Amino acid sequence: MFIKSFPAGPWQTNCYVVSTGVGNECLIVDPGMHASTGIRDVVEENHLKPVAVLVTHGHIDHMWSLFPVAKGYGIPGFIHGDDRYLLSDPGAGLSPETAAALPTMLGTDDIIAEPEDLRIVTDNMSLNIAGMDLVVRHAPGHTWGSVLFDFQTEDRHVFTGDVLFAGAIGRTDLANGSPEQMNDSLRNVILPLPDSAIILPGHGRDSRMNIERATNQYLLRIAQGLPAA
């Protein structure tokens, strides 16, 4: 797989451009704040053709540029239905402090909205996009509609959004978070991933599932039958 990533905006959200190789169709995962320029640079340098935008969840740091990227390339956006409301009401998923600051962060050219072609994903949905097979894994807890995009490569490349990080997990204290749901998702969605799976999170460095299974304190607690935190 061809994967290029860069951190977008003050939240340093990982935006990924994914393809089978240079010169082919590609998809974009989590176009964060002002990610359009970075995406364009990767696309042009590698002669790629964007065909879809995937959003792991509806928090604004992951979907800030969804509308302009989808509109600019004339491509669909994909999101789980439980987080669709955040595309038109992003403040609902933020802390009170961040929601209050949001108007000052928005520039005159920023458009936070649903793309014209929005497609809803569901748990265990199989997709073939840009010549790649992937399965959607619904993993609520960070948000109601958090999902993993599980690419069915030999080693499995799994885009985990803010469910699982290298050495950590996503927060559950925002309006649409749930510690109980996160525990279930870690137990039933994350732990069954194969040891060879490459973990590509929404923030920070990538990892492998065998490393997280052996060292991530939250997964160690879940494996012992305890809550993650």
pLDDT of 163-173, one tens digit each? 999 999 999 99
Residue 216, burial from CB neighbour count under 10 angstroms (0-12, 13-18, 19+): buried
pLDDT of residue 132: 98
Q: Give me the phi and psi of 78, to 5 degrees please.
A: -125, 130
Distance CA 4, CA 173 (A): 31
Q: How far apart are CA 149 and CA 135, in angstroms?
A: 6
Which residue stretches of the chain have pLDDT < 50? none
The confidence score (pLDDT) of residue 108 equals 65
The pLDDT of residue 109 is 73
Going by C-alpha positions, the residue among 227, 117, 125 that lies closest to residue 182 is 227
Structural domains in the chain, CATH included, are: 2-223 (3.60.15.10)
pLDDT single digits (tens) 2-11: 999 999 999 9
User: What percent of the chain stands above pLDDT 70?
Assistant: 100
In DSSP terms, 34 is beta-bridged to none
Closest CA to 130 of 76, 87, 80: 76
Q: Where are the alpha helices (DSSP H) in 56-95?
A: 60-63, 66-73
The per-residue pLDDT for 148 is 98
